[in-house]
Amino acid sequence: MGWSLGREDATITEWERSDGYATVRLRERGDGRFVVRLDVMEQAADDRAYDRVVLDERDAAEERAAAWREERDLD
C-alpha cells in the first residue's frame, strides 16, 4: 500500500498510508528544528509503533520521513 500526502502547509507535512492505519508527520518547531513522527495504530496489519525524532536540518528530517514510509509500506 502506498502513501499519500494528507497535509502540507507552512508548518506541517503529513503522509497517510493507504490503509489509514499509519501516518508520518514532519513539522518545524518554533526554534527552527524539525520533528518527525511515525504513528502506526493498533489495528494495522504490521506492529503498532510510535517514534519521534528531532533533527536540526529539514533535509535530514525529510530523509527520516521517507525512510519510515519505505519501512512501513505494505506493498
Q: What is the pLDDT of residue 30?
A: 94
Q: What is the pLDDT of residue 48?
A: 81
Nearest Cα neighbor of 1 from 16, 63, 51 is 16
What pLDDT, in 10s, does the model give residues 4-15?
A: 999 999 889 999
Predicted structure pTM score: 0.89
* Residue 51: C-alpha distances to residues 10, 15, 18, 36 (Å): 23, 15, 20, 8
What is the Cα 17 distance to its own chain's centre? 10
What pLDDT, in 10s, does the model give residues 29-54?
A: 999 999 999 999 977 667 788 999 99
Q: Which residue matches cell numbers 533533527?
A: 55
Q: What is the pLDDT of residue 69?
A: 97
